[in-house]
Amino acid sequence: MKDTLRHAGKRKQLVTTLMKKGIKDTSVLAAIEKIPRHLFMDSGFEDHAYQDKAFPIAADQTISQPYTVAFQSELLQIKNGDNVLEIGTGSGYQTAVLCELGAKTYSIERQKELFKKTKLFLSKLGYRPKHLSFGDGYKGLEEHAPYNAIIVTAGAPYVPKPLLSQLKINGRLVIPVGEKVQIMTLFVRKSEKQFEKREFGEFKFVPLLENKS
């Protein structure tokens, strides 16, 4: 599959849709306008790539809805050179957005098949995250902490403590919390022990898997 002017045109329309839905961050919108989302999905589904919808990928997982990606990315308030951790690499689309935003990007995926596939794919596409790791996102990634921002892209039944403790002061954790539906939640670390919490309504994610061997 290729990226063509027709795809670029569809991305422009998608960006317009996201703006209408309330996304304002121009660097997030620019990233979405640039990244060929159709290449992150199996060929044959490319007509769905620029609709504002989640879509199935390998291993029973989904590529998040563009609005959700934009909404979470906006909440992260990433600046060029920030240290950013993503939990749930999946298709790598959100990883690519973080790279476009200038983040030093680390991402963790729990499923080996996806981890391998996406690692290869992102490098083919020219994206250079600092590190992609195969492991359990509940633990975060201590060796590269602290982070300016952490984004969780699967539904967490509770907020894993290591993610809070791996934030810098003023660092931001964006995490959908809940079992059946999730409340998008932002934690800002105000001091060593204090976190400010804000909630942003309901979203629906695949579950953050625990104790998977």
Query: Catalytic amino acids?
Result: 64
Residue from 50, 71, 106, 138 binding ligand SAH (CB under 6 A): 138
Q: What does the per-residue mask of binding to ligand SAH show for 44-63, with x meaning CB under 6 A?
A: -----------------xxx
Q: Does 70 bind ligand SAH (CB under 6 A)?
A: no
The b-or-e profile of 3-13 (16+ CB within 10 A means b, else e) is: eeeebeebbee
Backbone angles phi and psi of 65, in degrees to 5:
-60, 135
Q: Counting contacts by CB under 6 A, is residue 94 touching ligand SAH?
A: yes
> Applying CB under 6 A, does 137 fall inside the site for ligand SAH?
yes
Residue 72 as a binder of ligand SAH (CB under 6 A): the answer is no
Identify the residue among 109, 122, 132, 172 touching ligand SAH (CB under 6 A).
109
| DSSP codes, 72-141 | HHHHHT--TT-EEEEE--TTSHHHHHHHHTT-EEEEEES-HHHHHHHHHHHHHHT---SEEEES-GGG--
Q: Does 64 bind ligand SAH (CB under 6 A)?
A: yes
- Compute φ and ψ for 30, nearest 5 degrees: -65, -40
User: Per CB under 6 A, does 133 bind ligand SAH?
Assistant: no
Choose which of 25, 82, 100, 136 interacts with ligand SAH (CB under 6 A): 136
For tokens 């996102």, name the residue.
137
Name which of 196 and 210 has its Cβ closer to ligand SAH: 210
Alpha-carbon dihedral angle through residues 206, 29, 105, 113, given to the nearest 10 degrees: 40
Among the residue ranges 4-12, 134-142, 176-184, 187-195, the one whose residues contact ligand SAH (CB under 6 A): 134-142
Q: What is the CA 59 to chain-centroid distance, rounded?
A: 17
Residue closer to ligand SAH (CB basis): 90 or 171? 90
Residue 145, classed as helix, strand or coil, is: coil
Quick one: which of 114, 174, 175, 186 contacts ligand SAH (CB under 6 A)? Answer: 114
| Other beta carbons less than 10 A from residue 20's beta carbon | 9
Q: Under the rule (CB under 6 A), what is the footprint of ligand SAH?
A: 61-64, 87-88, 90-91, 93-94, 108-111, 114, 136-138, 153-154, 206, 208-209
